[in-house]
Structure 1
Amino acid sequence: MKLNLNIQPLNSWLNVKNEPLIISGPCSAETEEQLLSTAHLLAATGKVSVLRAGIWKPRTRPGEFEGIGSIGLEWLNKAKEQTGLPTAVEVATAKHVEEALAAGVDILWVGARSTANPFTVQEIADALKGVDIPVLVKNPVNPDLSLWVGALERINNAGITKLGAIHRGFSSFEKSSFRNEPMWELAIQLKTLCPGLPIINDPSHICGNRELIPYIAQKALDLDMQGLMIESHIDPSVAWTDAKQQVTPAALAELAERFSLRKPESKNEEFTDKLADLRKQIDKIDDLMIQKLGERMAIVEKIGQYKRDNNVTILQVNRWDEIMQKRSAFAKALNLDLNFTERFLELVHGESIRKQTEIMNAGKAEKGIAAEAHTEVKA
């Protein structure tokens, strides 16, 4: 199924002077001097296409710096006049939209917390009706593709055709090196649903620290994302918010120089023919995998019937441990990633449990019908 969005291509509404597209600026506009100085340094790199800054900052807990407020829009305007960079800000209410539009902001984005709340998104969408302005929608805090899609649809239904998404990672209970887990598969699913939708990666919020930004940024570009939103501050060590994930303009320029840019397609006939041949091989293997999974599930059904008839539980932990140990060792010998192997086995095992549960419940239902029929005959 494809996502039916009425959107314009990125290059028709944003003049990208450099590749890749980089949206950059401080996490928060703190002072006029801080914002203007950062903007001038970013413009001087020749790598930045859009200046961003947080004006209203929804924080997790009260008492933290929650943005300089509307006066920051005046500073952004001054920065645009002096550098020529178009500007972008986050909006979380209809009032934010009205003030940003009145101030001449060029691009708006909807934050992760807002995307998670359809009421908030609809309020923003209503405020955007009749307006022709680019809007970017960040993924929701939690890994919920439907919420992300729903927010994009609401904004698009308001008449916004200059529409894009921002992949900033997802909250997770698991501890890892990242502030927000990338969960690339969700961004890939969105891209599959709507191939024409521009997706911008936000490595700053995924990483939570500047050291990991190069890795995530390059991976995003390798996955054919249309650009990057990277937070930059003239002196990150004294930043009022998210100091660890911001880079200096000079560091950003150095980072951009090291990016490897790859094209989604090649016109080289030899490459195209070789790729087509390799894909045919993959298709054959995929067909074989599906066939073998079907055969496996047929045996699973027989096992479920046998367990039911002999009054044995579905889940047998020792057998599951044995499968995990043996299959993981075999996968390791084949140089398969351990996490991938475990996730795959858990998925197959979960489907096996589901099938056996159906068989167990069907058996109970059949016994119940038979008992009722026997009672009626006796009566």
Structure 2
Amino acid sequence: MSKVMHFSREFKPTNTIVKINNVKIGGKFFAIIAGPCVIESPEQYIETAKIVKEAGANIIRGSVFKPRTSPYSFQGLGREGLKLIKELGEDLKIATITEVMDPRDIKITANHVDIIQIGARNMQNYDLLKEASKSDVPILLKRGMSATIDEWLYSAEYLMVEGNENIILCERGIRTFSTTTRNTLDLSVIPLLKMRTHLPIIVDPSHATGNRDLIAPVSKAAIASNADGIMIEVHYNPDIAKCDGAQSLPPEMFIELIEQIKPILEIEKKVVTGTSMNLEEVRRRINYVDEDIIDLIANRLHLVPALIEFKSKNSIPVYQPEREQQLREKYEHLAKKYNISPELIQKIFNLIIAEMRSLQKQKMNSDD
């Protein structure tokens, strides 16, 4: 019998929703990750971060350990830059992400950022993956330049073996014979992965295209393909950027991009958390949550036939007070964890449990 992989739908049928402070990624929750490719200076990082947050980004990117093709290119501020990321996240009250290349930097990075990124060049750096798996910080895993889907997912499995389910996949294009764009973006991978894994998947249009004029249309296509987020390089002055200036959006183009994708996000019923909202947006999100609640209740009730079949074969009674008591204790614990009234949760689940029990009795009586 083959082992069920942690990343698979067999292991977890429902979508994983990664939570970072007040930001959620996965399901109906959409991430807008933006910021400079590499942190060059405090001024460049802070000014760019303020701009993208004001425009609507809910996670700030910026590398301090930067892999470069040429050994003479700027490779980031190193560990000193981590302090800057931590200070910015606290000052702006926004989630942060940065890349790690060396297993020895995992622990210190996890103490300074909200998400660890493992880049395309390191997707199969297994020592790095093993060390990262020991962290409970969410991890964004980019697809390798020539990686197959299976290779990518097995790299995610390396990250999950120690129990960290907060893994985000990132499609950033693969290397093909075409040189028209920096890489060839594989948008078909999004619906394919949605069938195979419960993990959220985002798209990096910046590295996929290498051309700032292509980022807006590719971002729209990613949302229409049901991606769970986009990762955009933004620089307050791309003409003087030390890295990837050609694919970095200037502030005005990023602001325009956010306005252009809002209608598509609404059509796809995607929600960007961790940003300010007007009353209409709040009500729209409430409607989405209500739909999710109804869908989840329906899924629970649809499990009744399977329950009946098992209980009938094994002569197990419909009413099991021990099991119901275990569930109530579990619900109380979760209510306290999420700072919700335990009495409210108990009332809701008492109704659901009673309905489940009633449906089981009706079905079993009708079968008789």
TM-score by length of 1: 0.63
2:339 counterpart residue number: none
Change in CA separation of 1:99 and 1:4 when aligned onto 2, cut-off 3 Å: closer
Equivalent-residue separation in structure 2 for 1:69 and 1:204 (angstroms): 23
Larger Rg: 1
The count of residues paired between Structure 1 and Structure 2 equals 260
Task: Give 1:63 deviation, angstroms.
Answer: 1.1
Q: 1:22 aligns with which of 14, 32, 47?
A: 32
One-letter code aligned to 1:63 = Y
d(CA) in 1 for partners of 2:208, 2:114: 25
Q: Which runs of 5+ in 1 are unaligned?
A: 269-379
Within the candidate set 248, 251, 254, 2:253 is matched to: 251
Distance 2:54 2:157 in 1: 37
> 1:16/1:81 Cα in 2 relative to 1: closer, same or farther (>3 Å)?
closer
Cα drift, residue 143 of structure 1: 4.2
C-alpha deviation, 1:83, in angstroms: 0.9
Q: Please state whether the residue corresponding to 1:170 is helix, strand or coil.
A: coil
* Residue number among 236, 239, 242 corresponding to 2:241 in the alignment: 239
Instruction: Give the superposition deviation at 1:209.
Output: 1.0
CA displacement, residues 296-348 of structure 1 (integer Å, 9 cap, x when unaligned)? xxxxxxxxxxxxxxxxxxxxxxxxxxxxxxxxxxxxxxxxxxxxxxxxxxxxx
Aligned residue number for residue 193 of structure 1:
196
For the Cα contact (< 8 Å) 1:165–1:197, is it kept in 2? Answer: yes
Displacement after TM superposition at 1:95 (Å) = 1.7
Q: How does 1:8-87 map to 2 (within 5 A)?
A: 9-10=16-17, 12-13=19-20, 15-16=22-23, 20-45=30-55, 47-87=56-96
1:134 lines up with 2:138 in the alignment: yes
Q: Structure 1 pair 213/14, CA: closer, same or farther in 2 (3 Å)?
A: farther
8 A contact 1:125–1:158 mirrored in 2: no
SS in structure 2 of the partner of residue 39 of structure 1: helix
How far off its partner does 1:91 sit?
1.1
1:160 offset after TM fit, Å? 1.3
Contact persistence 2:201–2:228 (CA under 8 A): yes
Q: 1:40 to 1:17 in 2, by over 3 A?
A: farther
1:1-379 matched pairs, under 5 angstroms: 4-5=6-7, 9-10=16-17, 12-13=19-20, 15-16=22-23, 20-45=30-55, 47-102=56-111, 104-115=112-123, 117=124, 120=125, 122-176=126-180, 178-194=181-197, 196-259=198-261, 260-261=264-265, 262-263=267-268
Shift of 1:191: 2.4
Looking at structure 1, the residues matched to 20 and 251 of structure 2 have their Cα atoms a distance apart, in angstroms, of 25
Q: Confirm or deny: 8 A CA contact 2:18 2:138 kept in the other structure.
A: no
Is there any run of 5+ residues in structure 2 with no aligned partner, and where? 271-287, 292-368
C-alpha displacement of 1:39: 1.3
**Bigger helix fraction:** 1
Identify the structure with bigger relative contact order (alpha carbons < 8 Å, sequence gap 6+).
2
Q: Which amino acid in the other structure matches residue 88 of structure 1? A: I
On the 8 A contact 1:167/1:199 being kept in 2, the answer is: yes
Structure 1, residues 96-152: CA drift from partner, whole Å, max 9, x if none? 2122023x210011100101x3xx2x3223323443211111011114222211110
TM-score, normalised to structure 2, is 0.65
Task: Judge which range, 211-220 or 249-258, deviates more.
Answer: 249-258
Q: Give the aligned residue type for 2:225.
A: L
Contact 1:128 1:158 in 2 (8 A): no
Cα distance between partner residues in 2 of 1:26 and 1:78: 16
CA RMSD of aligned residues (A): 2.6
**Structure 1 pair 9–68 and aligned structure 2 pair: CA distance change class (3 A):** same
The secondary structure found in structure 1 opposite 2:188 is helix
Shift of 1:193: 1.1
Amino acid at match of 1:257: E
2:185 aligned partner, one-letter code: P
- Percent of aligned pairs with the same amino acid: 29
